[in-house]
Structure 1
Amino acid sequence: MAKLQPGGRGGVLSLVSLPRIASSPFKELARRGVLALLLLLVSTSLVWLDRDAYVDNTTQDGVSLVDALYYSTVTITTTGYGDITPMAPHARMINALVVTPLRIGFLVLLVGTTIEVLANEGSRSIKDNLWRRRMRNHVVVIGYGTKGRSAVNTLRRQGEQPDRIVVIDSSAAAVNEANLDGLAAFQGDATRRTLLRRAEVAKARQVIISLDRDDAAILTTLNVRQLNPTAGVIVSVREQDNVMLVRQSGASSVVTSSETVGRLLGLSAIGPELGTIMQDMLTGAEGLEVHQRLAEPDEVGKPPSSVLGERVIGLIRNGTLRRFYDQTATRVETGDELIVVRRAAPPASRDLLRAAEDES
């Protein structure tokens, strides 16, 4: 796949880089070689079987199998020395209607690199347009470093489908890694509105910004919020002093990476087990995990403490968070979303559960 240009620079639009299955260049070369050989064998067979309709103008001794192979080779490669020619009308018709398409196919296979590049670019443009038309209510992750990858892994563990997650990163290596992880991605500067529009940020449900620089995070937040006034915008900053600026820029939630890491370090120093529990809930790969889900019908009217297999630590009602000790959260109501701590499901169980949900 052709390398993506940075979004909006030099008038070149950045196209979406979709997940793809890597193919070995040697296998591709061998496949094309076999197809070219088959075309040559078909042409040779046609000439050999109809050899009485051809004349060797040089030796006048008829057309042998070697002559048929020679004629097919120079004809298919458009060399055409003219020493062997079809004389019968039907042989000339076969050359016009059969050998000529074989020649075109042979040239496209072995010589048509430019044609292939143009075709690929056109195909990519069509795929880009189709992708952008159907992309809505998705999650855009800006920055696919350690924080961005962790955010995506958490989303996928919570049931978010990979085809509803879009990555933006300035690094070609990060875009390639996102593709290998099964995600659509754009390469370019996320502070540019042109690229944000290409990623359909205006239709996104959530935007996660995990850039390495706070100034870039603030500018990106401003642009995202102007394009999409309703989406949830979650931003990671390095310094606590910048939290207020990011909130004023339109962030729905701000996570201070240095403060969070420092708090985990402090909790681990107070008690290693306490730090382990917190780390356990944050990673979610094993042990405990925090999850948000809609209340089940059989849970309505009951206290949160009656929920089996999970511990309810809060619920969301009418867009307001109510913690477990809140007097207004003594009963589960229809439409409540529960925030629970539960045992993390093994990867195999998660895959089976996701497959069952897809089938239903």
Structure 2
Amino acid sequence: MTRISLLRSLWRRTRREAEEDAEAGRSIVMPVQNVAAPLRQVLRRLVMALAVLGLTTLLVYVDREGYHDNSDSAVDFLDSAYYATVTLSTTGYGDITPVSDGARLTNIFLITPLRVLFLIILVGTTLEVLTERTRQQVRIHRWRSRMREHTVVVGYGTKGRHAIETLVGQGKPKDKIVVVDPQKKVVDAASSDGLVGVLGDATRSETLLRAELQRASQVVICTERDDTAALVTLTARQLNKSATIVVAVREDENVPLLRQSGANTVVTSSSSAGRLLGMSMMSPNVGTVLEDLLTYGNGLDVVERPVTKREAGNSPRDCADLVVAVVRGHRLLHFTDPEAATLHLADRVITIKQAAPPAAEG
């Protein structure tokens, strides 16, 4: 793939598609909170209002001798329900009135508080519906103001999900991960998983800016197509010069192009899977160990950590876990490199260690 083909791919986007992407890019989906569904909330409030209406009707019917109906003087159960309805709704036609002292006291101390409660239920439901959008905007504004040094994951498919699982397993909080994807159902799934989702085309600067990529420290790009990955990488590097960008591509021939576009690390999914298949065929045990190393939190894990004060000045072989490489400054030294024979306090080591046991569920 060449830069010309990338430009052609970008040129083929129609104006209608661009307008749809711009519309989608305006949507930010916050993590799902543990609140009742809107329909369930309305039904619950409706039941409460009917219960208040039923109680008021019962109070009036029990004390029906203290009321006067202008039409026929007598007050039956239907008249009691009618009086309760017009009273709680503050309509008050005046055709049925309390005339005895007991009925008037009941209206003062019981029916009036029930009327207030009835109005609170109705007004509360209305206000909740009216303020839901404002509440969502406040959540988004608050999220934007505190989002720093986070991770943006472009694509929430199989690769993106496993990348996030590994990040979370290594201690990355979910509120520090933002998912960008052009499919609404995928963004909703990310929101259900406790992640912030941005709906839109990641090749557009507007979408990545809504994900606060300009203030992110890490970017993981897991798109379905290599040309899309290259465009996203170019856009992300233009917005953020210092973030670490890791990209997954299908073909080895596209790796140099992705590196030129600004990617720090490029992982070739198809060739990596092919090599793992070949190793497993020649030696199933080697394939099992590699699969174990690639699965975080199970068996053996590959981790990068700083050198401790006790380890500084010693050989990597003296560490409690197995050191396979040393990171010194911007250089990666393999364990066979003579420069890695002595650890420095400012070094970082890449080690293989036993995975921590899963936390017991309480």
Q: Same fold (TM over 0.5)?
A: yes
- Are the counterparts in 2 of residues 76 and 106 from structure 1 also a CA contact under 8 Å? no
CA shift in 2, pair 1:74/1:284, >3 Å: same
* Counterpart Cα distance in 2 of 1:156 and 1:143: 17
Give the aligned partner of residue 299 of structure 2.
287
* Counterpart Cα distance in 1 of 2:238 and 2:265: 16
Q: How does 1:8-87 map to 2 (within 5 A)?
A: 8-9=22-23, 13-21=26-34, 23=36, 28=41, 31-41=44-54, 43-44=56-57, 55-61=68-74, 67-76=79-88, 82-85=94-97
- Are the counterparts in 2 of residues 17 and 175 from structure 1 also a CA contact under 8 Å? no
Give the aligned partner of residue 257 of structure 2.
245
Give the aligned partner of residue 210 of structure 2.
198
* Counterpart Cα distance in 2 of 1:265 and 1:233: 27
The one-letter code matched in structure 2 to 1:235 is V
Give the aligned partner of residue 355 of structure 1.
none
Q: How does 1:204-283 map to 2 (within 5 A)?
A: 204-283=216-295
How many Å apart are 1:75 and its aligned residue?
4.1
What's the secondary structure of 1:107's corresponding residue?
helix
How many Å apart are 1:304 and its aligned residue?
1.1
Give the CA RMSD over aligned residues. 3.4
* Counterpart Cα distance in 2 of 1:174 and 1:40: 44
* Counterpart Cα distance in 2 of 1:215 and 1:78: 65
Q: CA deviation digits over 1:82-120, x for unaligned, max 9? A: 53246899999889975664453343577x4xx644422
Higher mean C-alpha displacement, 29-38 vs 229-238: 29-38
The one-letter code matched in structure 2 to 1:107 is L
State yes or no: 1:342 paired with 2:353: yes
- Are the counterparts in 1 of residues 31 and 195 from structure 2 also a CA contact under 8 Å? yes
Runs (4+) off by over 6 Å: 48-53, 86-97
* Counterpart Cα distance in 2 of 1:73 and 1:96: 11
The one-letter code matched in structure 2 to 1:199 is A
Match of 1:319 among 313, 324, 330: 330
What's the secondary structure of 1:259's corresponding residue?
helix
State yes or no: 1:155 paired with 2:167: yes
Alignment length (residue pairs): 341
* Counterpart Cα distance in 1 of 2:141 and 2:165: 27
Q: CA deviation digits over 1:252-300, x for unaligned, max 9? A: 1111111111111111122111111111101124221111112222222
* Counterpart Cα distance in 2 of 1:49 and 1:136: 64
Q: CA deviation digits over 1:18-49, x for unaligned, max 9? A: 13337467864653344223432565577679
Give the aligned partner of residue 182 of structure 2.
170
The one-letter code matched in structure 1 to 2:182 is S
What's the secondary structure of 1:8's corresponding residue?
helix
Q: CA deviation digits over 1:290-315, x for unaligned, max 9? A: 1111222222222111111x211112
* Counterpart Cα distance in 1 of 2:162 and 2:151: 14
Q: CA deviation digits over 1:152-186, x for unaligned, max 9? A: 11111111111111111122222232223222212
What's the secondary structure of 1:293's corresponding residue?
strand
**Superposition TM-score, scaled by structure 2 size:** 0.81
Give the aligned partner of residue 9 of structure 2.
none
CA shift in 2, pair 1:64/1:295, >3 Å: farther
Q: CA deviation digits over 1:299-348, x for unaligned, max 9? A: 2222111111x211112222322221122212222232221111122322
What's the secondary structure of 2:72's corresponding residue?
coil
What's the secondary structure of 1:225's corresponding residue?
helix
CA shift in 2, pair 1:142/1:302, >3 Å: same
**Superposition TM-score, scaled by structure 1 size:** 0.82
Q: Flag structure 1 segments of 5+ consecutive residues without an equivalent.
A: 353-360
- Are the counterparts in 1 of residues 56 and 111 from structure 2 also a CA contact under 8 Å? no
Identity within the alignment, %: 42
* Counterpart Cα distance in 1 of 2:58 and 2:21: 52
What's the secondary structure of 1:230's corresponding residue?
coil
What's the secondary structure of 1:246's corresponding residue?
helix
The one-letter code matched in structure 1 to 2:324 is I
- Are the counterparts in 1 of residues 249 and 267 from structure 2 also a CA contact under 8 Å? yes
The one-letter code matched in structure 2 to 1:206 is Q
